[in-house]
Chains A and B, each alone.
Chain A
Protein backbone atom coordinates (compact mmCIF):
# COMPACT_ATOMS: atom_id res chain seq x y z
CA UNK A 1 0.00 0.00 0.00
CA UNK A 2 1.67 3.15 -1.18
CA UNK A 3 1.69 6.32 0.90
CA UNK A 4 -0.44 8.02 -1.71
CA UNK A 5 -3.19 5.51 -1.03
CA UNK A 6 -3.58 7.09 2.39
CA UNK A 7 -5.09 10.11 0.69
CA UNK A 8 -8.36 8.23 0.62
CA UNK A 9 -10.06 9.02 3.94
CA UNK A 10 -11.50 5.52 4.30
CA UNK A 11 -8.11 3.94 3.79
CA UNK A 12 -6.64 6.45 6.18
CA UNK A 13 -9.14 5.47 8.83
CA UNK A 14 -8.16 1.85 8.43
CA UNK A 15 -4.50 2.83 8.66
CA UNK A 16 -5.17 4.92 11.75
CA UNK A 17 -7.14 2.20 13.48
CA UNK A 18 -4.35 -0.29 12.89
CA UNK A 19 -1.47 2.01 13.72
CA UNK A 20 -2.74 3.91 16.74
CA UNK A 21 -2.48 1.11 19.32
CA UNK A 22 1.14 0.46 18.34
CA UNK A 23 2.02 4.14 18.28
CA UNK A 24 0.34 4.65 21.63
CA UNK A 25 2.13 1.70 23.14
CA UNK A 26 5.45 2.92 21.82
CA UNK A 27 4.75 6.34 23.32
CA UNK A 28 4.04 4.87 26.74
CA UNK A 29 7.25 2.83 26.66
CA UNK A 30 9.27 5.85 25.57
CA UNK A 31 7.82 7.95 28.39
CA UNK A 32 8.43 5.24 30.93
CA UNK A 33 12.05 5.11 29.90
CA UNK A 34 12.33 8.88 29.59
CA UNK A 35 10.84 9.71 32.97
CA UNK A 36 13.03 7.11 34.59
CA UNK A 37 16.09 8.64 33.02
CA UNK A 38 14.92 12.13 33.90
CA UNK A 39 14.41 11.16 37.51
CA UNK A 40 17.88 9.68 37.95
CA UNK A 41 19.63 12.40 35.97
CA UNK A 42 22.15 14.36 38.04
CA UNK A 43 21.52 17.90 39.21
CA UNK A 44 23.05 20.62 37.13
CA UNK A 45 25.98 22.34 38.84
CA UNK A 46 24.32 25.72 38.34
CA UNK A 47 20.60 25.02 38.20
CA UNK A 48 20.35 22.21 40.69
CA UNK A 49 17.31 20.02 40.27
CA UNK A 50 15.37 22.65 38.33
CA UNK A 51 17.18 21.44 35.22
CA UNK A 52 14.59 18.66 35.25
CA UNK A 53 12.02 21.18 34.12
CA UNK A 54 14.01 21.36 30.90
CA UNK A 55 12.99 17.78 30.14
CA UNK A 56 9.46 19.15 29.70
CA UNK A 57 10.20 22.65 28.46
CA UNK A 58 12.53 21.86 25.57
CA UNK A 59 10.43 19.08 23.99
CA UNK A 60 7.24 21.13 24.27
CA UNK A 61 9.00 24.05 22.58
CA UNK A 62 10.09 21.82 19.69
CA UNK A 63 6.62 20.36 19.39
CA UNK A 64 4.96 23.76 19.41
CA UNK A 65 7.07 24.66 16.42
CA UNK A 66 6.79 21.23 14.79
CA UNK A 67 3.01 21.45 14.87
CA UNK A 68 3.04 24.76 13.03
CA UNK A 69 5.49 23.22 10.57
CA UNK A 70 3.08 20.34 9.98
CA UNK A 71 0.29 22.87 9.52
CA UNK A 72 2.42 24.80 7.03
CA UNK A 73 3.03 21.71 4.90
CA UNK A 74 -0.66 20.88 5.16
CA UNK A 75 -1.46 24.45 4.11
CA UNK A 76 0.57 23.96 0.96
CA UNK A 77 -1.25 20.68 0.41
CA UNK A 78 -4.58 22.47 0.69
CA UNK A 79 -3.79 25.48 -1.47
CA UNK A 80 -1.53 23.99 -4.12
CA UNK A 81 -2.56 20.37 -4.51
CA UNK A 82 -6.05 20.36 -2.91
CA UNK A 83 -5.01 17.17 -1.17
CA UNK A 84 -8.03 15.77 0.68
CA UNK A 85 -6.19 14.94 3.87
CA UNK A 86 -4.35 18.25 4.06
CA UNK A 87 -7.39 20.06 5.49
CA UNK A 88 -7.86 17.35 8.08
CA UNK A 89 -4.21 17.43 9.12
CA UNK A 90 -4.15 21.19 9.54
CA UNK A 91 -7.31 21.29 11.62
CA UNK A 92 -6.20 18.42 13.83
CA UNK A 93 -2.72 19.79 14.44
CA UNK A 94 -3.75 23.27 15.59
CA UNK A 95 -5.12 22.52 19.09
CA UNK A 96 -2.28 20.08 19.77
CA UNK A 97 0.31 22.64 18.78
CA UNK A 98 -1.41 25.29 20.87
CA UNK A 99 -1.42 23.00 23.91
CA UNK A 100 2.30 22.24 23.62
CA UNK A 101 3.14 25.90 23.10
CA UNK A 102 1.17 26.69 26.25
CA UNK A 103 3.08 23.96 28.08
CA UNK A 104 6.31 25.50 26.83
CA UNK A 105 5.31 28.91 28.17
CA UNK A 106 4.14 27.56 31.54
CA UNK A 107 7.10 25.27 32.19
CA UNK A 108 9.49 27.95 31.01
CA UNK A 109 7.85 30.44 33.34
CA UNK A 110 8.10 28.04 36.28
CA UNK A 111 11.76 27.51 35.45
CA UNK A 112 12.40 31.22 35.14
CA UNK A 113 11.02 32.16 38.55
CA UNK A 114 13.70 30.35 40.56
CA UNK A 115 16.44 30.84 37.97
CA UNK A 116 15.96 34.38 36.75
CA UNK A 117 13.81 35.65 39.61
CA UNK A 118 10.86 36.43 37.38
CA UNK A 119 7.99 34.49 35.86
CA UNK A 120 8.16 36.45 32.66
CA UNK A 121 10.39 38.78 30.72
CA UNK A 122 9.72 40.42 27.38
CA UNK A 123 12.80 39.21 25.59
CA UNK A 124 12.80 38.15 21.96
CA UNK A 125 12.45 34.38 22.50
CA UNK A 126 9.60 34.53 25.01
CA UNK A 127 7.75 37.21 23.06
CA UNK A 128 7.96 35.36 19.76
CA UNK A 129 6.75 32.12 21.39
CA UNK A 130 3.86 34.01 22.98
CA UNK A 131 3.06 35.37 19.53
CA UNK A 132 3.08 31.81 18.20
CA UNK A 133 0.55 30.90 20.88
CA UNK A 134 -1.66 33.83 19.86
CA UNK A 135 -1.35 32.77 16.22
CA UNK A 136 -2.50 29.28 17.20
CA UNK A 137 -5.53 30.76 18.93
CA UNK A 138 -6.23 32.88 15.87
CA UNK A 139 -6.09 29.91 13.53
CA UNK A 140 -8.33 27.86 15.82
CA UNK A 141 -10.78 30.78 15.96
CA UNK A 142 -10.75 30.89 12.16
CA UNK A 143 -11.50 27.17 11.92
CA UNK A 144 -14.42 27.53 14.27
CA UNK A 145 -15.86 30.68 12.72
CA UNK A 146 -16.01 29.80 9.04
CA UNK A 147 -18.89 27.45 8.48
CA UNK A 148 -17.87 25.58 5.35
CA UNK A 149 -14.95 23.20 6.06
CA UNK A 150 -13.24 23.69 2.68
CA UNK A 151 -13.38 27.47 2.96
CA UNK A 152 -12.18 27.32 6.52
CA UNK A 153 -9.29 25.13 5.40
CA UNK A 154 -8.19 27.58 2.75
CA UNK A 155 -8.48 30.60 5.03
CA UNK A 156 -6.57 28.78 7.76
CA UNK A 157 -3.96 27.76 5.20
CA UNK A 158 -3.27 31.36 4.25
CA UNK A 159 -3.03 32.45 7.86
CA UNK A 160 -0.73 29.48 8.58
CA UNK A 161 1.61 30.44 5.76
CA UNK A 162 1.76 34.06 6.89
CA UNK A 163 2.29 33.04 10.51
CA UNK A 164 5.08 30.61 9.56
CA UNK A 165 7.42 33.60 9.50
CA UNK A 166 7.38 33.36 13.32
CA UNK A 167 9.18 30.00 13.29
CA UNK A 168 12.59 31.22 12.07
CA UNK A 169 12.17 34.28 14.29
CA UNK A 170 11.74 32.02 17.32
CA UNK A 171 14.64 29.81 16.33
CA UNK A 172 17.10 32.62 15.69
CA UNK A 173 15.80 35.13 18.23
CA UNK A 174 18.41 34.12 20.78
CA UNK A 175 21.13 34.69 18.16
CA UNK A 176 19.84 37.95 16.73
CA UNK A 177 19.00 39.67 19.98
CA UNK A 178 20.63 39.97 23.34
CA UNK A 179 18.08 37.87 25.21
CA UNK A 180 17.75 36.63 28.75
CA UNK A 181 16.80 33.22 27.35
CA UNK A 182 19.96 31.27 26.73
CA UNK A 183 21.28 30.59 23.24
CA UNK A 184 20.84 27.28 21.46
CA UNK A 185 22.55 24.40 23.19
CA UNK A 186 21.35 21.41 21.19
CA UNK A 187 20.57 22.33 17.60
CA UNK A 188 23.58 24.36 16.74
CA UNK A 189 26.67 24.23 14.51
CA UNK A 190 29.26 22.23 16.34
CA UNK A 191 28.45 19.81 19.12
CA UNK A 192 25.72 20.33 21.68
CA UNK A 193 26.95 22.15 24.74
CA UNK A 194 25.01 20.15 27.30
CA UNK A 195 26.66 17.42 29.28
CA UNK A 196 25.76 13.90 28.17
CA UNK A 197 24.21 12.95 31.49
CA UNK A 198 21.54 15.57 30.94
CA UNK A 199 21.49 15.51 27.15
CA UNK A 200 20.55 11.81 26.97
CA UNK A 201 17.40 12.07 29.15
CA UNK A 202 16.51 15.24 27.27
CA UNK A 203 16.70 13.49 23.92
CA UNK A 204 14.76 10.48 25.19
CA UNK A 205 12.00 12.75 26.51
CA UNK A 206 12.04 14.61 23.20
CA UNK A 207 11.52 11.34 21.34
CA UNK A 208 8.75 10.34 23.75
CA UNK A 209 6.98 13.67 23.34
CA UNK A 210 7.30 13.50 19.56
CA UNK A 211 5.76 10.03 19.55
CA UNK A 212 2.98 11.43 21.73
CA UNK A 213 2.48 14.27 19.27
CA UNK A 214 2.07 11.96 16.31
CA UNK A 215 -0.19 9.63 18.27
CA UNK A 216 -2.42 12.56 19.19
CA UNK A 217 -2.28 13.93 15.66
CA UNK A 218 -3.26 10.62 14.11
CA UNK A 219 -6.13 10.21 16.58
CA UNK A 220 -7.31 13.78 16.05
CA UNK A 221 -7.18 13.32 12.28
CA UNK A 222 -9.32 10.22 12.66
CA UNK A 223 -11.80 12.20 14.73
CA UNK A 224 -11.88 14.98 12.17
CA UNK A 225 -12.63 12.55 9.32
CA UNK A 226 -15.42 11.04 11.39
CA UNK A 227 -16.74 14.52 12.19
CA UNK A 228 -16.92 15.34 8.51
CA UNK A 229 -18.83 12.15 7.85
CA UNK A 230 -21.31 13.11 10.54
CA UNK A 231 -21.67 16.53 8.96
CA UNK A 232 -22.31 15.03 5.53
CA UNK A 233 -24.92 12.71 6.96
CA UNK A 234 -26.58 15.55 8.82
CA UNK A 235 -26.78 17.59 5.63
CA UNK A 236 -28.28 14.52 3.98
CA UNK A 237 -30.77 14.23 6.78
CA UNK A 238 -31.68 17.92 6.60
CA UNK A 239 -32.20 17.62 2.86
CA UNK A 240 -34.32 14.54 3.24
CA UNK A 241 -36.50 16.17 5.87
CA UNK A 242 -37.23 19.22 3.76
Chain B
Protein backbone atom coordinates (compact mmCIF):
# COMPACT_ATOMS: atom_id res chain seq x y z
CA UNK B 1 0.00 0.00 0.00
CA UNK B 2 2.89 2.35 0.55
CA UNK B 3 3.62 2.32 -3.16
CA UNK B 4 0.18 3.63 -3.92
CA UNK B 5 0.41 6.22 -1.17
CA UNK B 6 3.71 7.33 -2.64
CA UNK B 7 2.13 7.75 -6.08
CA UNK B 8 -0.71 9.73 -4.52
CA UNK B 9 1.57 12.08 -2.64
CA UNK B 10 3.89 12.48 -5.62
CA UNK B 11 1.08 13.35 -8.01
CA UNK B 12 -0.42 15.81 -5.61
CA UNK B 13 2.91 17.49 -5.00
CA UNK B 14 3.56 17.80 -8.73
CA UNK B 15 0.09 19.15 -9.35
CA UNK B 16 0.40 21.83 -6.74
CA UNK B 17 3.77 23.07 -7.92
CA UNK B 18 4.23 25.65 -10.62
CA UNK B 19 2.96 24.33 -13.95
CA UNK B 20 1.17 21.52 -12.18
CA UNK B 21 -2.28 22.59 -13.16
CA UNK B 22 -4.11 22.42 -9.84
CA UNK B 23 -4.62 26.12 -9.30
CA UNK B 24 -4.75 26.67 -13.05
CA UNK B 25 -7.97 24.68 -13.07
CA UNK B 26 -9.62 26.96 -10.57
CA UNK B 27 -8.34 29.99 -12.41
CA UNK B 28 -9.81 28.72 -15.66
CA UNK B 29 -13.04 28.00 -13.83
CA UNK B 30 -13.11 31.60 -12.62
CA UNK B 31 -12.29 32.99 -16.05
CA UNK B 32 -15.06 31.06 -17.77
CA UNK B 33 -17.61 31.95 -15.14
CA UNK B 34 -16.59 35.60 -15.49
CA UNK B 35 -16.74 35.60 -19.26
CA UNK B 36 -20.28 34.31 -19.47
CA UNK B 37 -21.96 37.36 -17.93
CA UNK B 38 -19.98 39.51 -20.32
CA UNK B 39 -21.29 37.46 -23.21
CA UNK B 40 -24.86 37.24 -21.99
CA UNK B 41 -25.31 40.62 -20.43
CA UNK B 42 -25.96 41.37 -16.79
CA UNK B 43 -29.54 40.11 -16.67
CA UNK B 44 -29.46 38.65 -13.17
CA UNK B 45 -32.56 36.54 -13.58
CA UNK B 46 -31.10 34.89 -16.67
CA UNK B 47 -27.77 34.29 -14.96
CA UNK B 48 -29.47 32.73 -11.99
CA UNK B 49 -31.44 30.49 -14.30
CA UNK B 50 -28.41 29.16 -16.15
CA UNK B 51 -25.82 29.60 -13.41
CA UNK B 52 -25.58 25.92 -12.43
CA UNK B 53 -25.22 24.92 -16.08
CA UNK B 54 -22.44 27.42 -16.70
CA UNK B 55 -20.53 26.30 -13.65
CA UNK B 56 -20.91 22.65 -14.58
CA UNK B 57 -19.66 23.36 -18.08
CA UNK B 58 -16.73 25.32 -16.70
CA UNK B 59 -15.92 22.47 -14.30
CA UNK B 60 -15.93 19.98 -17.18
CA UNK B 61 -13.58 22.12 -19.27
CA UNK B 62 -11.29 22.82 -16.33
CA UNK B 63 -11.06 19.11 -15.60
CA UNK B 64 -10.14 18.42 -19.22
CA UNK B 65 -7.33 20.96 -19.06
CA UNK B 66 -5.54 19.28 -16.23
CA UNK B 67 -5.96 15.79 -17.68
CA UNK B 68 -3.75 16.56 -20.63
CA UNK B 69 -0.53 16.16 -18.69
CA UNK B 70 -1.67 13.40 -16.38
CA UNK B 71 0.01 10.52 -18.17
CA UNK B 72 1.96 12.43 -20.78
CA UNK B 73 4.34 13.95 -18.26
CA UNK B 74 5.06 10.54 -16.74
CA UNK B 75 5.52 9.06 -20.18
CA UNK B 76 8.04 11.71 -21.13
CA UNK B 77 10.26 11.39 -18.10
CA UNK B 78 10.12 7.61 -18.04
CA UNK B 79 8.23 7.10 -14.80
CA UNK B 80 5.36 5.51 -16.72
CA UNK B 81 7.66 2.69 -17.78
CA UNK B 82 8.64 2.22 -14.14
CA UNK B 83 5.01 2.08 -13.13
CA UNK B 84 4.21 -0.41 -15.86
CA UNK B 85 7.01 -2.74 -14.87
CA UNK B 86 6.40 -2.40 -11.15
CA UNK B 87 4.64 -4.90 -8.94
CA UNK B 88 1.66 -2.73 -8.09
CA UNK B 89 -1.29 -3.44 -10.41
CA UNK B 90 -1.53 -0.77 -13.07
CA UNK B 91 -5.28 -0.38 -12.52
CA UNK B 92 -4.69 0.61 -8.90
CA UNK B 93 -1.96 3.06 -9.81
CA UNK B 94 -4.24 4.64 -12.40
CA UNK B 95 -7.03 4.79 -9.83
CA UNK B 96 -4.77 6.54 -7.38
CA UNK B 97 -3.56 8.98 -10.02
CA UNK B 98 -7.20 9.72 -10.73
CA UNK B 99 -7.82 10.34 -7.05
CA UNK B 100 -4.84 12.69 -6.94
CA UNK B 101 -6.14 14.52 -9.99
CA UNK B 102 -9.55 14.92 -8.40
CA UNK B 103 -8.14 16.09 -5.10
CA UNK B 104 -5.99 18.73 -6.77
CA UNK B 105 -8.32 19.78 -9.58
CA UNK B 106 -11.85 18.77 -8.64
CA UNK B 107 -11.94 19.73 -4.98
CA UNK B 108 -10.71 23.32 -5.54
CA UNK B 109 -13.48 23.65 -8.11
CA UNK B 110 -16.05 22.47 -5.60
CA UNK B 111 -14.76 24.93 -3.03
CA UNK B 112 -14.70 27.80 -5.51
CA UNK B 113 -18.12 27.06 -6.99
CA UNK B 114 -20.33 28.74 -4.37
CA UNK B 115 -18.11 31.82 -4.36
CA UNK B 116 -18.29 32.13 -8.13
CA UNK B 117 -21.97 31.31 -7.87
CA UNK B 118 -22.37 34.61 -6.06
CA UNK B 119 -21.27 36.34 -9.24
CA UNK B 120 -23.97 34.50 -11.11
CA UNK B 121 -26.60 35.41 -8.55
CA UNK B 122 -27.14 31.91 -7.25
CA UNK B 123 -29.03 31.77 -3.98
CA UNK B 124 -28.02 29.54 -1.10
CA UNK B 125 -30.27 26.64 -2.10
CA UNK B 126 -29.04 26.60 -5.68
CA UNK B 127 -25.43 26.91 -4.61
CA UNK B 128 -25.84 24.10 -2.11
CA UNK B 129 -27.36 21.77 -4.68
CA UNK B 130 -24.64 22.72 -7.15
CA UNK B 131 -21.87 21.95 -4.69
CA UNK B 132 -23.43 18.58 -3.90
CA UNK B 133 -23.71 17.64 -7.57
CA UNK B 134 -20.16 18.79 -8.26
CA UNK B 135 -18.93 16.81 -5.27
CA UNK B 136 -20.46 13.66 -6.65
CA UNK B 137 -19.95 14.41 -10.33
CA UNK B 138 -16.40 15.74 -10.64
CA UNK B 139 -14.89 12.34 -9.77
CA UNK B 140 -16.79 10.95 -12.75
CA UNK B 141 -15.31 13.66 -14.96
CA UNK B 142 -11.85 12.77 -13.72
CA UNK B 143 -12.18 9.02 -14.18
CA UNK B 144 -13.77 9.27 -17.59
CA UNK B 145 -11.05 11.71 -18.52
CA UNK B 146 -8.45 9.12 -17.52
CA UNK B 147 -9.55 7.01 -20.47
CA UNK B 148 -8.96 9.80 -22.95
CA UNK B 149 -5.68 10.79 -21.32
CA UNK B 150 -4.43 7.21 -21.56
CA UNK B 151 -5.48 6.84 -25.19
CA UNK B 152 -3.74 10.05 -26.16
CA UNK B 153 -0.62 9.56 -24.06
CA UNK B 154 1.86 8.90 -26.84
CA UNK B 155 0.72 11.81 -28.95
CA UNK B 156 2.64 15.03 -28.81
CA UNK B 157 -0.33 17.34 -29.14
CA UNK B 158 -2.82 14.91 -27.78
CA UNK B 159 -4.77 17.55 -25.90
CA UNK B 160 -7.38 18.16 -28.56
CA UNK B 161 -7.84 14.49 -29.33
CA UNK B 162 -8.23 13.86 -25.62
CA UNK B 163 -11.05 16.38 -25.47
CA UNK B 164 -12.75 14.91 -28.54
CA UNK B 165 -12.62 11.43 -27.05
CA UNK B 166 -13.67 12.37 -23.54
CA UNK B 167 -16.51 14.75 -24.26
CA UNK B 168 -19.09 12.29 -25.63
CA UNK B 169 -18.44 10.03 -22.64
CA UNK B 170 -18.70 12.91 -20.19
CA UNK B 171 -21.96 14.26 -21.57
CA UNK B 172 -24.20 12.02 -19.44
CA UNK B 173 -22.42 13.27 -16.31
CA UNK B 174 -23.00 16.84 -17.44
CA UNK B 175 -26.64 16.18 -18.23
CA UNK B 176 -27.48 14.62 -14.89
CA UNK B 177 -25.27 16.97 -12.91
CA UNK B 178 -27.03 20.03 -14.27
CA UNK B 179 -30.42 18.31 -14.04
CA UNK B 180 -29.86 17.61 -10.36
CA UNK B 181 -28.57 21.12 -9.66
CA UNK B 182 -31.59 22.61 -11.39
CA UNK B 183 -34.04 20.16 -9.89
CA UNK B 184 -33.29 21.37 -6.41
CA UNK B 185 -34.31 24.88 -7.37
CA UNK B 186 -36.82 24.69 -10.16
CA UNK B 187 -38.26 21.18 -10.07
CA UNK B 188 -40.60 19.56 -11.05
CA UNK B 189 -38.34 16.51 -10.98
CA UNK B 190 -37.30 15.73 -7.40
CA UNK B 191 -33.61 16.27 -6.72
CA UNK B 192 -33.11 12.62 -5.86
CA UNK B 193 -33.83 11.20 -9.30
CA UNK B 194 -31.05 12.75 -11.37
CA UNK B 195 -28.79 12.81 -8.33
CA UNK B 196 -29.01 9.07 -7.86
CA UNK B 197 -28.19 8.52 -11.51
CA UNK B 198 -25.25 10.87 -11.14
CA UNK B 199 -24.01 8.79 -8.21
CA UNK B 200 -24.38 5.66 -10.32
CA UNK B 201 -22.41 7.25 -13.17
CA UNK B 202 -19.60 8.16 -10.81
CA UNK B 203 -19.46 4.70 -9.28
CA UNK B 204 -19.43 3.12 -12.73
CA UNK B 205 -16.68 5.43 -13.93
CA UNK B 206 -14.61 4.62 -10.84
CA UNK B 207 -14.41 1.05 -12.14
CA UNK B 208 -14.53 1.43 -15.91
CA UNK B 209 -12.15 4.40 -16.02
CA UNK B 210 -9.09 2.83 -14.40
CA UNK B 211 -9.57 -0.48 -16.20
CA UNK B 212 -9.95 1.08 -19.61
CA UNK B 213 -7.15 3.56 -18.98
CA UNK B 214 -4.80 0.83 -17.77
CA UNK B 215 -5.61 -1.29 -20.83
CA UNK B 216 -4.98 1.71 -23.07
CA UNK B 217 -1.67 2.47 -21.38
CA UNK B 218 -0.50 -1.10 -21.79
CA UNK B 219 -1.36 -1.10 -25.47
CA UNK B 220 0.19 2.27 -26.16
CA UNK B 221 3.45 1.71 -24.32
CA UNK B 222 3.84 -1.98 -25.21
Residues of A within 8 A of B (CB): 79, 127, 131, 134-135, 137-138, 141-142, 145-146, 151, 154-155, 158-159, 161-163, 166
Alpha-carbon gap, A144 to B114, bound state (A) = 42
Is there an interface contact between A162 and B212, defined as CB atoms closer than 8 Å?
yes
In which size bucket is the chain B interface? Answer: 20 to 34
Specify which chain B residues have a CB less than 8 angstroms from the CB of A135 in the assembled complex. 168-169
Is there an interface contact between B175 and A127, defined as CB atoms closer than 8 Å?
yes
Is there an interface contact between A159 and B175, defined as CB atoms closer than 8 Å?
no
Alpha-carbon gap, A142 to B168, bound state (A) = 14
Question: Told that A154-B220, A158-B215 touch, could you supply 13 new A-B pairs with CB distance under 8 A?
Answer: A131-B168, A135-B168, A142-B151, A142-B161, A142-B165, A145-B155, A145-B158, A151-B154, A151-B219, A155-B219, A158-B212, A162-B212, A166-B168
Is there an interface contact between A131 and B171, defined as CB atoms closer than 8 Å?
yes
The 7 closest A-B pairs by CB, nearest first: A154-B219, A134-B168, A138-B165, A135-B168, A131-B168, A158-B216, A138-B164
Is there an interface contact between A146 and B154, defined as CB atoms closer than 8 Å?
yes
Is there an interface contact between A163 and B219, defined as CB atoms closer than 8 Å?
no
Is there an interface contact between B147 and A162, defined as CB atoms closer than 8 Å?
yes
Q: List 10 A-B contacts (CB under 8 A).
A: A79-B215, A134-B167, A138-B164, A138-B165, A138-B168, A145-B152, A154-B220, A158-B215, A159-B147, A159-B165
Is there an interface contact between B219 and A158, defined as CB atoms closer than 8 Å?
yes
Q: Does B203 contact A (CB under 8 A)?
A: no
Per-position binary interface string of chain B over residues 179-217, scored 1 when its CB falls under 8 Å from any chain A CB and 0 otherwise: 000000000000000000000000000001000100110
Is there an interface contact between A155 and B151, defined as CB atoms closer than 8 Å?
yes
From A127, A141, A158, A166, B161 is in contact (CB under 8 Å) with: A141
User: Smallest CB–CB gap between B207 and chain A, Å?
Assistant: 12
Is there an interface contact between B212 and A137, defined as CB atoms closer than 8 Å?
no
User: Smallest CB–CB gap between A151 and chain B, Å?
Assistant: 6
Is there an interface contact between B168 and A163, defined as CB atoms closer than 8 Å?
yes
Specify which chain A residues have a CB less than 8 angstroms from the CB of B151 in the assembled complex. 142, 155, 158-159
Alpha-carbon gap, A155 to B152, bound state (A) = 9
Alpha-carbon gap, A154 to B208, bound state (A) = 17
Per-position binary interface string of chain B over residues 116-151, scored 1 when its CB falls under 8 Å from any chain A CB and 0 otherwise: 000000000000000000000000000000010001
Is there an interface contact between A155 and B216, defined as CB atoms closer than 8 Å?
yes
Specify which chain B residues have a CB less than 8 angstroms from the CB of A158 in the assembled complex. 147, 151, 212, 215-216, 219
Specify which chain B residues have a CB less than 8 angstroms from the CB of A146 in the assembled complex. 154-155
